[in-house]
Structure 1
């Protein structure tokens, strides 16, 4: 099989509940314990736990003027972008700015700011609305702010495919590079899902785990006792480069992005296709796009939200694709929660780290899998693997699915 082509991953920038640099993040993921805690911002709600980013001071990172005019999802994305460029040893002023793109995945707008502004409007105080209410809240602003900060003048936009947004953005960024529309694309996702509106809405939908005592046992992907996900937040930005550009500047390649697949369930607004048909289609497309077979894949980072329907459907899709025996699987959300639109990007970055270390981090809180849907899910401690290729899967409301195939350099 021959794929469409690969692009180089030359930099990673991460801001997650597990940490903000590769070493600390990997150490936390390897420990295999959930980071879910009581969240003061959610106090009094039916579900008051979340996985939050700790020890992040936007003022010290960005300066007080910039930090004060951005919402948290933009703080996270912009800081991750700066770190990704630093990791790639890349100075954009030294590049052709019109050849540098930014494609970010964002699942929603910034509900923290919107709730404040809608409250003022509802109270009849229209003239007290902040003039920054819209520009700091609309989803595209995280991509726009990164361009302003870095001088990237190429294609610039966000994509929104719910919880598949981050993975979709990475796939679209690869398409821009393979089409020779860009030499470099900063891509990934950013989201802070810890607003009271978000938490209350998901609780009403019964999508969140209500196992809040103790919080660290709440999220249980693929476990028979699962009852929903735990909210999270974070950002991941990957520096993708056309192979010719990466070689010309002598860049260190951390991984190759070799395949991308996307699909729609065309089934239900919030529930996945019960047989995982759309997820299977996206995975098979990604493998074909990468020019590989299921047997070439040595590790899967699953979407694994711990919802009853979602995990059941994804397990069926993986079992069919891999003829009943998927390679070692992990579910990162069991540890860092669900960052919604950023989740697929964070998990893609974790997949790069797994390929670099040739280890699969464990899934937390898995005791027993559904009968007939058992997979080789890594638990307790990291497992050494010999993997040249890995798969990262993402699914979202609206039945939107995305899959990425990454390769060791």
Structure 2
């Protein structure tokens, strides 16, 4: 019997298949004037960031993980000419909103590209000077002489965690919060709909990218078959959490609880997984700064009520909530930086709490977070360190850079 292509019922089950995206030409289009718009703090060195990403991918492969790449899946999904034209229309519509002239000219240019070149071109972005003479400049372009792009690059694509998230045998194709990232989830829409690996399984979509309220994968943790934790963050709204909870309760009968956890809305605490990840059946990493006095937080337990309602109960103790939903007597919260306030702040900035579990008690981390890594080892975890000097410039760690597609059930 053919195995379903998606299966995520925990954060720590043995990882079998993961989606990555190797940084490419889009990184070369990062320039100081537009770093803030493109959500970067610095400019990575492309050959080095690619070397580090390859090291990360190889570390996973050496542990028996199948690594698949976003650009390759997307190109295979749009091999059919009609599907490719549909994709081009969608990407151009979202890239050239409000500029009809540019819309038609860009569409005509992209239609001449092969599937592989099309996907890379859309990911890389395009400079106006690169297409001079191929695309006639519109009035809009003449009024905005200083802006160099006719198609914005997507330098955040190597953080595959955010545009979509697998829950059970289905997927959430997310409404991204920032304009610079909103087009990213379009690739997953086409992959799930048209790639033969996924399309034949009729994968259920728990949340769609056309929703009003933003939801990002870095805020979504599958704690068990029955429980999903979602961060109320700078990028994920309360309303989106209620909507996906309603969808899961009505269409995925296994999920019985959604735990909404509010975190500070700052750049350093961008998503829930930047401050809190599961590393073993009874262990989590945590950045102590998200805990209030006496460990208090704003936590909301969401459960189904009757046929279509939601029951919401406010809680304030994260440790107690986790023990309850995981049905364990004891549970450990392992502090980033070993709990030292200076080390915790420094290593948190470089995603010291953003671990990728590839099996219970086995995690992938950045090598630069040495105090956090030694703390994890002191709790009995196996820590696989990967290179990180350039990767960390994008403000995301190993969990951010990976979208698990299939894990073994615990």
Shorter-chain TM-score: what band? Answer: 0.3 to 0.5
TM-score by length of 1: 0.33
